[in-house]
């Protein structure tokens, strides 16, 4: 009906807004504004080295936020991120200590552990119908317990394998850190899955209405379970990368990533209620959060001031474009 | 006869939490070397009430089908504030207590105003305001320290008339002064209605905004009371992010154990209090069974996971496959 009414000139605009929804544009706009503000303070904020360094830091958050976004698109949430990240880092470096076989298996084993935990989360959410906020919270506590027993309460002694270090800090293409490449590959795959596969469409459909998706024949429970498994795997992979970056896993290494990951996804225009959002937005959100944290620390603002500004900026940006409709308009 | 069945049905979550607590606490006490003495109970209640206050706060927000992830940070902020203000002469102390509670209330009000008038999603809003509150706490206490009126602290953490733990009495007073009036008021009922179905509540002319605002504000106040008690127990203030996050997450766990539905509209703060006690007792059980402290987090996690999975039994009652997705 609307195609009949639309002016010929208006059609490209509709296509354009579908590809590039306003919240993503605002998020990218905020990135530019942040960079300009930073460059007023110091011109080095616009140098390629600084920007690449930021992308490298952002890639860890980016990998985690990818999994978080998929889960949020379902209308669920994954609070098991902190210790699944630590699990990935610790398990991969623990296996790496087992000689050549261990070295080779380190990365897949770390990710596999994360997928396993994610799978359990998924079974809880999809088949036992436990609210995701609770089951992932409980699972986080269980994994924390497992890791405390594993390390004996001390910081783990195993160091990361050479492959993990290469993946996190090496360069295949000159000047482009490998971790950025890893994020790019994961991001590309995610865009493909979300826009070009039935699995991706099912994720959006479930986020809008799981009932409707079920009635239209989507295997909703399997999709939900698989999505949580992917999220767990990606969190653990980020842990593997982080362990490679610091050449060691650490207790609580994943703690600073949970809330920024959720914030990044939401700042990127993904609805926390599910069913709406683009991966490009998540990329923007991740870069935005990373830049904000970096600029605040470069300006040598004390931790207290950084936290306050961080919170105020998130609220201000959400007020710009993250508002819901009021009850009277629903 | 029928009234009883309705009442039990309505309060099922609370009753299950109570039963669970009684069973666990009995196991705890019977295996405790000192047995069922006042000292054991006082220590347990002192540990339990902190989480109980934050869990009550979380209940108020969860009932409106939202969640407040800044409560742990309000708890930490009021702790830091109290370590400055609640000291000195009785008058100064009284002023300090009022100021700390007002600060908690103000934090809750800010959350409410942003969520309601800014129309932002509660999860993200409270993540952000939580960061702000934690920043202010860090400004107040860059390093742990401070002091508190010791007489008041000892009175509230000790035993009243050598008979009952004072912290339990304080908890009871808060329930009677804040929770019961809220639950019985029009606003409180509106909060439950909003949580059950916002659209239906709106259509029936229920004061949604006022209900949500009061829920967030009182949640801030209750978290502030929790922070005040933390100061009484530790005699100092500490801006610890780990502490704040732990209390936020544990409060959600306590609320669920207490039979409050995260989908909103179901449950009571009494249940959440027992949920908090259950959660604390789980941790204590390990000590009386002489297990290595190393295993405590795993044990706590497994019990939590098990408790959460028990909720899956309701699936057995589902007749229509579509109700699965409701």
pLDDT score at A323: 64
Task: Specify the range with the lowest mean pLDDT, choosing from B65-69, B202-206, B262-266.
Answer: B262-266
Domains observed in chain B: 9-310 (1.10.3470)
CA distance B22 to chain A (A): 22
pLDDT score at A5: 45
Going through A13-148 in order, the beta strands assigned E by DSSP cover none
pLDDT at B2 over 70: no
Q: Tell me the C-alpha distance between A243 and A98, whole Å.
A: 17
pLDDT score at B30: 78
pLDDT (mean) for B242-252? 85
Percent of chain A with pLDDT over 70: 89
Please, what is the end-to-end C-alpha distance for chain B in angstroms?
31
For residue A142, give the nearest of B121, B139, B305 by CB distance. Answer: B305
| B256 at interface of A, judged by CB pairs closer than 8 A | yes
| Of B301, B292, B277, B255, residue with least CA distance to B44 | B277
Those residues with Cβ within 8 angstroms of residue B59's Cβ, 6 or more apart along the chain or in another chain: B255, B258, B260, B267, B268, B269, B271, B272
Q: Are B148 and B231 in contact (CB under 8 A)?
A: yes
Which pTM does this prediction carry? 0.83
pLDDT score at A316: 84
Q: Are A239 and A132 in contact (CB under 8 A)?
A: no
pLDDT score at B250: 86
What residues in B contact A124, CB-CB < 8 Å? Answer: 308-309
Q: What are residue A232's phi and psi, to 5 degrees?
A: -60, -45
Q: Tell me the C-alpha distance between A34 and A304, whole Å.
A: 20
Question: How many other CB atoms sit within 10 Å of the CB of residue A175?
Answer: 8
pLDDT score at A326: 54
Domains observed in chain A: 48-321 (1.10.3470)
pLDDT score at A87: 93
pLDDT score at B166: 83
The first and second tokens of residue A56, run together, are: 């490298």
Is B322 close to A211, i.e. CB distance below 8 A?
A: yes
Those residues with Cβ within 8 angstroms of residue A154's Cβ, 6 or more apart along the chain or in another chain: none
**pLDDT category of residue B326 using cuts at 50, 70 and 90:** low
**pLDDT category of residue A7 using cuts at 50, 70 and 90:** very low
pLDDT (mean) for B308-321? 74
For residue A145, give the nearest of B262, B299, B311 by CB distance. Answer: B299
Mean pLDDT, chain B, rounded, equals: 85
**pLDDT category of residue B50 using cuts at 50, 70 and 90:** very high
What residues in A contact B312, CB-CB < 8 Å? Answer: 128-130
**Strand (E) or helix (H) holding A197:** none
- Count how many residues are written for chain B: 326
pLDDT (mean) for A105-128? 92
| B257 at interface of A, judged by CB pairs closer than 8 A | no
For residue A149, give the nearest of B242, B256, B295 by CB distance. Answer: B295
Q: Which of A27-31, A65-69, A319-323, B65-69 has the highest mean pLDDT?
A: A65-69
Query: Chain B residue closest to A327 (CA)?
Result: B199
- What is the value of ipTM here, to two decimals? 0.81
| Of A247, A231, A33, A13, residue with least CA distance to A122 | A231
pLDDT (mean) for A305-322? 81
Q: Are A126 and A69 in contact (CB under 8 A)?
A: no
Percent of chain B with pLDDT over 70: 98
Q: Tell me the C-alpha distance between B302 and B297, whole Å.
A: 9
| B202 at interface of A, judged by CB pairs closer than 8 A | yes
Mean pLDDT, chain A, rounded, equals: 84
pLDDT score at A16: 54
Q: Tell me the C-alpha distance between A72 and B42, whole Å.
A: 43
Task: Specify the range with the lowest mean pLDDT, choosing from A47-56, A239-248, B30-39.
Answer: B30-39
pLDDT score at A183: 93
Is A138 close to B301, i.e. CB distance below 8 A?
A: yes
| B279 at interface of A, judged by CB pairs closer than 8 A | no
Give per-residue pLDDT as tens, A166-212: 887 778 777 788 889 999 999 999 999 999 999 999 999 999 988 89
**pLDDT category of residue A330 using cuts at 50, 70 and 90:** very low
Those residues with Cβ within 8 angstroms of residue B154's Cβ, 6 or more apart along the chain or in another chain: none
**pLDDT category of residue A20 using cuts at 50, 70 and 90:** low
């Amino acid at each position: 009906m609307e195609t009949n009414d639309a002016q010929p000139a208006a059609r490209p605009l509709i296509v354009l807004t579908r590809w590039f929804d306003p919240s993503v544009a605002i998020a990218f706009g905020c990135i530019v504004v942040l960079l300009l503000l930073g460059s007023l303070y110091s011109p080095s904020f616009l140098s390629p080295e600084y920007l690449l360094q930021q992308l490298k830091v952002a890639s860890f958050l980016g990998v985690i936020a990818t999994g978080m976004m998929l889960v949020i698109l379902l209308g669920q949430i994954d609070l098991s991120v902190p210790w699944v990240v630590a699990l990935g880092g610790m398990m991969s470096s623990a296996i790496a200590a087992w000689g050549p076989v261990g070295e080779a298996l380190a990365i897949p084993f770390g990710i596999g552990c994360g997928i396993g935990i994610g799978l359990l989360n998924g079974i809880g959410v999809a088949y036992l119908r436990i609210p995701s906020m609770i089951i992932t919270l409980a699972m986080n506590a269980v994994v924390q317990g497992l890791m405390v027993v594993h390390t004996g309460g001390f910081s783990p002694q195993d160091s990361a394998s050479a492959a993990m270090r290469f993946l996190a800090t090496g360069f295949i293409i000159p000047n482009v850190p490998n971790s950025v490449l890893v994020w790019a590959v994961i991001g590309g795959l995610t865009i493909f899955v979300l826009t070009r596969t039935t699995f991706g469409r099912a994720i959006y459909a479930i986020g809008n209405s799981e009932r409707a998706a079920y009635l239209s024949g989507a295997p909703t429970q399997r999709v939900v379970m698989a999505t949580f498994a992917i999220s767990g795997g990606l969190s653990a992979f980020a842990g593997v990368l982080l362990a490679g970056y610091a050449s060691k896993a650490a207790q609580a290494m994943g703690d600073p990533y949970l809330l920024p990951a959720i914030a990044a996804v939401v700042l990127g225009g993904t609805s926390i209620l599910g069913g709406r959002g683009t991966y490009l937005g998540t990329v923007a959100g991740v870069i935005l959060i990373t830049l904000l944290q970096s600029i605040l620390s470069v300006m040598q603002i004390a931790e207290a001031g950084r936290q306050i500004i961080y919170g105020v900026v998130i609220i201000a940006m959400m007020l710009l474009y993250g508002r819901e409709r009021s009850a009277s308009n629903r | 006869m029928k009234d009883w069945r309705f009442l039990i049905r309505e309060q099922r979550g609370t009753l299950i939490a109570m039963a669970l607590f009684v069973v666990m606490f009995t196991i705890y006490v019977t295996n405790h070397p000192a047995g069922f003495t006042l000292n054991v109970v006082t220590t347990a209640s002192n540990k339990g009430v902190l989480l109980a206050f934050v869990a009550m706060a979380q209940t108020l927000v969860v009932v409106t089908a939202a969640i407040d992830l800044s409560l742990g940070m309000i708890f930490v902020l009021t702790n830091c504030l109290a370590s400055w203000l609640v000291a000195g002469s009785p008058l100064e102390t009284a002023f300090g207590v009022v100021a700390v509670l007002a600060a908690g209330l103000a934090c809750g009000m800010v959350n409410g105003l942003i969520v309601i008038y800014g129309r932002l999603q509660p999860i993200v809003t409270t993540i952000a305001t939580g960061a702000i509150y934690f920043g202010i706490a860090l400004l107040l206490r860059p390093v742990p320290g401070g002091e508190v009126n010791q007489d008041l602290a000892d009175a509230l953490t000790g035993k009243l008339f050598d008979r009952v733990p004072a912290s339990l009495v304080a908890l009871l007073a808060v329930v009677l002064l804040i929770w019961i009036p809220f639950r019985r008021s029009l606003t409180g009922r509106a909060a439950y209605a909003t949580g059950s179905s916002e659209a239906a509540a709106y259509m029936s002319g229920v004061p949604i905004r006022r209900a949500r605002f009061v829920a967030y504000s009182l949640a801030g106040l209750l978290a502030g009371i929790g922070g005040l008690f933390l100061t009484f127990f530790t005699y100092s203030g500490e801006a610890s992010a780990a502490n704040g996050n732990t209390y936020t997450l544990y409060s959600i766990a306590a609320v669920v154990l207490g039979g409050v539905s995260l989908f909103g509209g179901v449950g009571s703060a009494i249940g959440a209090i027992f949920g908090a006690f259950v959660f604390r007792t789980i941790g204590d059980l390990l000590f009386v069974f002489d297990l290595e402290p190393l295993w405590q987090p795993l044990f706590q996690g497994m019990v939590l996971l098990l408790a959460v999975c028990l909720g899956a039994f309701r699936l057995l009652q589902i007749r229509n496959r579509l109700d699965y997705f409701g």
